Structure 1
Amino acid sequence: MKGLSLKQKGFFLIIYITTVILLVHSIISKNITLELSGIGDMVFFTILTALTESFTVVFKNMSVSTTFAITITTYILFGPFSSILILVLGFLFRILKVNNKQYKHLFNTPIYGTVFNCCAIILPIIIGNYVYNIINNSSLTILQQNNISIVVFGVIYFLINALVMSILMSLMTEKHIFYCLSSSIKIGIIHFIVMIPVGLILAMIFNENKYWGIVCIIIPISLIRYTLLLYSDSKSQFIDTVEALMNAIDARDQYTEGHSRRVAEISVAIGKELKYNQWSIEELNIAAMLHDVGKIGVSDAILNKPGKLTDEEFDAIKEHPVIGIKIIKDIKNIDYVYPVVRNHHERYDGKGYPDGKNGDELPLSVYIVQLADTVDAMASDRPYRKGLSESIILEEIKKCSGTQFHPKVAETYLRIVEKNGGKLP
């Protein structure tokens, strides 16, 4: 466990011990019986699990896999003990491609991480099985018991797994546990809800048609997975291109190198505080990275002038939002970027440029990037002045809320700073 903090080591040990205690208790209390299904069935579903785990589609902090459907299927068909063995063995035999280059497998993963991941599979099954047995011992009809108990088992599995992984994420990133948990639930809930009926269908097909039935169903699911992989790859390539363009823009201006990246980071922080969903945050990040793309069309002599600009030079700088739209107007599927590129120098009171728009005439994303852009500009050193102090920047935001800045965005940013102990994000 080298490299882990004391809290992280403690959490790993708690999960190990809790899993062992609950598993032993379940066996002693006969909530879980040590019954194995046929060897052929177990081998088949273990291979299937290894394949679905190996073909997990990962994009940013999201992942899409059909393994949860296999969890539901094996639990229905063979019970908790066989399901645990199948899923753990399948996980151990997976070979997952990461970063489009490296492969992650049992032999290059730290043993403590492998054991933790196995516990993250076993623990939700044990707890879900407790609830499943409670429902099945209730006064509901057999049909109600079967349907409700499986759905509840799936929900419990998802929530326990999300909780365990969110606590780990919180310890690794030092973000609040509730933030990590809410993010995990928002990202994963739809996927897990869809996988529950898929697992039920796979169980019914296996009962009727055995292995060939499962194979016939897995083929279209694999095609869906392949489509998601293509989308993930194209999305990653697009973002890599955007970042390369952003770096090229910033490299032209020696006084504001790294500006677009910092603006994007501040914008994303505001979007998260406003509870934007993952896709909206992704769009906001891309728009912020490209907000100054029009500076490509501005002379180097003006961009890198070591002093204050003349009125004519400032008028040339003020053309960069319009130039930016001309540069990106033919790129498909990035309409959400256009308002930010054109209007990030507008003001809430309508005294900005190039169009003099105000208030609700512009989407909130414009005002988010506008504030982030202004904050970084105030904090950055320039040839004719040093960067402003944090206290002065905060006073400016308070003073200009409702005039230069959208009051909701200004209030949100100030709240972030307060949560950050008075430090600018």
Structure 2
Amino acid sequence: MRNLNLKLKIYLVSLYVFTAISLSYLHINRLFIGYQTGYMKVIFFAILLAIAESLRVAYKGMAISTSLAVEIAVVILFGPVVASFVVILGFSLRFKKVDGKYRHLFNDPIYKTLYNYCCQIVPLLYAGMVYYKLGGSFDVVNLWSKAHLIIIFSIICLLLNTLLVSILFSLLNNKSILYFFIGNIRLSLLNSIVMAPFGALLAFMFDKYSYGGVILTIFPIILVRYTFYLYLELKSQYIETVDTLMHAMEARDKYTEGHSKRVAEISTLLAKELKYNDIKVERLHMASLLHDVGKIGIDDSILNKPGKLTQEEYEIIKSHPEIGYNILKDIKNLQDILPIIRSHHERYDGKGYPDEKQPEQLNLDVFIVQLADTIDAMTTDRPYRKALTDEEVINEITKYSGTQFHPKVVQAYLNILEKQKKAV
């Protein structure tokens, strides 16, 4: 912990103290404790939680786990205070996979372990309080009439957990909390909604059939976990396909190495400034990475020519959007980005290529990638000229706003620059 910055240390220590005080107060006053608590039951569910956490599915810094169903069941049966002790024991027993190797409690620094405890306990305690205040009880009496309260409980758990994780990432990366919160919430929300009914079912089966009932319930939960795994594997393969195509493209064009990534970064900033949702931002990011994939089909002598292109050579270069479209058109997962690939050299005044489309025929996505592509081209050294200054770039895009560029997208970029100046 000595290597952590001061803000991060303050956050972690504050979270530890807050969690300890909350848990101690509720435990001492015997608040929110279910009617059928027993040591063997606590140990049983802790082991179940440890297994669920050990089999979690990792994706883009997040982890999709069926452990939420176990936690919901434990809260319904025992209350959030006892559930917190189940979490501590369960997380202590888990094995997590990192870089292909399984790690356990003693492989991690104590501050990380304590943080993981807190990120689970605080949501359980305070979501449990809300659940109780809204009329929920910690038993299986009239369980199905409390279904809406269980869903509310699981969503509050999710929101609080995501908030605690987002604060950590914000301090580590010096970005806004909202940036990470929005980025993580969508997939986690799906996991939360799916696991809520399974948690209720788990509690009901345990109450009615004891340990055997839990074993029967495990099978559909494992099936859900496997479905999540297949979904995330498909997403990973999709991203790997994009990366492979992008690297193949940049290997051909030595002067534009890194260009696609920079265009994707600028496009993402523009999309967020224009209030795109996460799904549309991700789609635009993928399109930006692949916008020049058609250059794979251009001859090296033209693609890497150091001097000025002839008119004939320029016409060949202009064919790369159509070539890219034809390369990608039969890849099922890339269908929704094809219009962007084909049209990223169209203009707002209808004088672009390959189809000379009018702006009303094009989605705003096209103009986002078009401007991002142009900005990176202007701000990067080329064999025939030096990179333009920020002031020169602003003058150029302002001058051609309404002709080459979409005015709304130009204004979004100017807004981004203004915000960046204020942040310095």
Q: What's the TM-score once normalised by structure 2's chain length?
A: 0.91
Which digits, 9 at most, give the CA deviation of each residue in 1:244-283, with x for residues without a partner?
Answer: 2212211222221111111112122222333333333332
Q: How does 1:151-170 map to 2 (within 5 A)?
A: 151-170=151-170
- Could you say which residue in structure 1 is the equivalent of 2:376? 376
Q: How does 1:277-292 map to 2 (within 5 A)?
A: 277-292=277-292
- Could you say which residue in structure 1 is the equivalent of 2:7? 7
CA shift in 2, pair 1:283/1:132, >3 Å: closer
Return 29-38 or 51-60, whichever deviates more. Answer: 29-38
2: CA distance, partners of 1:219 / 1:304? 57
2: CA distance, partners of 1:296 / 1:224? 41
Native 8 Å contact 1:27 1:34 kept in 2 = no
2: CA distance, partners of 1:135 / 1:322? 58
- Could you say which residue in structure 1 is the equivalent of 2:130? 131
Q: What SS does structure 2 have at the residue aligned with 1:334?
A: helix
Which digits, 9 at most, give the CA deviation of each residue in 1:168-216, with x for residues without a partner?
Answer: 1211121112333333434423332332232122211211122222222
1: CA distance, partners of 2:275 / 2:38? 48
CA shift in 2, pair 1:137/1:414, >3 Å: same
Return 121-130 or 385-394, whichever deviates more. Answer: 121-130
Q: What is the CA-CA distance between 1:151 and the residue it aligns to?
A: 4.4
Native 8 Å contact 1:36 1:82 kept in 2 = no
Native 8 Å contact 1:31 1:133 kept in 2 = no
2: CA distance, partners of 1:210 / 1:28? 29
Q: How does 1:212-361 map to 2 (within 5 A)?
A: 212-361=212-361
2: CA distance, partners of 1:298 / 1:394? 31
* Amino acid paired to 1:60: K
Q: What SS does structure 2 have at the residue aligned with 1:58?
A: strand
Q: What is the CA-CA distance between 1:17 and the residue it aligns to?
A: 0.9
Q: What SS does structure 1 have at the residue aligned with 2:332?
A: coil
- Could you say which residue in structure 1 is the equivalent of 2:113? 114
2: CA distance, partners of 1:4 / 1:35? 43
Which digits, 9 at most, give the CA deviation of each residue in 1:265-315, with x for residues without a partner?
Answer: 212222233333333333222211111111111111111111221111111
Q: What is the CA-CA distance between 1:317 and the residue it aligns to?
A: 0.6
1:25 aligns with 2:25: yes
Unaligned 5+ segments in structure 2 are none
Q: What SS does structure 1 have at the residue aligned with 2:58?
A: strand
Unaligned 5+ segments in structure 1 are none
Which digits, 9 at most, give the CA deviation of each residue in 1:353-392, with x for residues without a partner?
Answer: 0000121312222212111111111111111110111111
* Amino acid paired to 2:252: R
Native 8 Å contact 1:129 1:153 kept in 2 = yes
- Could you say which residue in structure 2 is the equivalent of 1:199? 199
Native 8 Å contact 2:348 2:405 kept in 1 = yes
Return 399-408 or 50-59, whichever deviates more. Answer: 399-408
CA shift in 2, pair 1:327/1:383, >3 Å: same
1: CA distance, partners of 2:107 / 2:272? 34
CA shift in 2, pair 1:61/1:407, >3 Å: farther
1: CA distance, partners of 2:188 / 2:328? 33
Q: How does 1:4-153 map to 2 (within 5 A)?
A: 4-32=4-32, 37-99=37-99, 101-136=100-135, 150-153=150-153
Q: What SS does structure 2 have at the residue aligned with 1:420?
A: helix
Q: What is the CA-CA distance between 1:423 and the residue it aligns to?
A: 9.6
Native 8 Å contact 2:72 2:154 kept in 1 = yes
1: CA distance, partners of 2:404 / 2:3? 46
CA shift in 2, pair 1:406/1:63, >3 Å: farther
Which digits, 9 at most, give the CA deviation of each residue in 1:125-151, with x for residues without a partner?
Answer: 22233334434499xxx9699556544
Native 8 Å contact 1:35 1:81 kept in 2 = no
Same amino acid, percent of matched pairs: 48
CA shift in 2, pair 1:233/1:136, >3 Å: closer
Q: What is the CA-CA distance between 1:348 and the residue it aligns to?
A: 1.5
2: CA distance, partners of 1:354 / 1:410? 22
* Amino acid paired to 1:173: N
Native 8 Å contact 1:49 1:91 kept in 2 = yes
Which digits, 9 at most, give the CA deviation of each residue in 1:213-265, with x for residues without a partner?
Answer: 22222212212222322332233233223212212211222221111111112
* Amino acid paired to 1:83: A
Q: What is the CA-CA distance between 1:79 and the residue it aligns to?
A: 2.1
* Amino acid paired to 1:384: Y
- Could you say which residue in structure 2 is the equivalent of 1:420? 420
Q: What is the CA-CA distance between 1:19 and the residue it aligns to?
A: 0.9
Q: What SS does structure 1 have at the residue aligned with 2:63?
A: strand
Q: What is the CA-CA distance between 1:10 and the residue it aligns to?
A: 0.7
Q: What is the CA-CA distance between 1:412 and the residue it aligns to?
A: 2.0
Return 317-326 or 11-20, whichever deviates more. Answer: 317-326
- What's the Cα RMSD here? 2.6
* Amino acid paired to 1:209: Y
2: CA distance, partners of 1:413 / 1:333? 29
CA shift in 2, pair 1:103/1:267, >3 Å: farther
Native 8 Å contact 1:31 1:129 kept in 2 = no
Native 8 Å contact 2:345 2:370 kept in 1 = yes
Native 8 Å contact 2:45 2:86 kept in 1 = yes
2: CA distance, partners of 1:319 / 1:137? 64
Native 8 Å contact 1:390 1:423 kept in 2 = no
Native 8 Å contact 1:80 1:125 kept in 2 = yes
Native 8 Å contact 1:247 1:258 kept in 2 = no
Return 27-36 or 127-136, whichever deviates more. Answer: 27-36
* Amino acid paired to 2:113: T
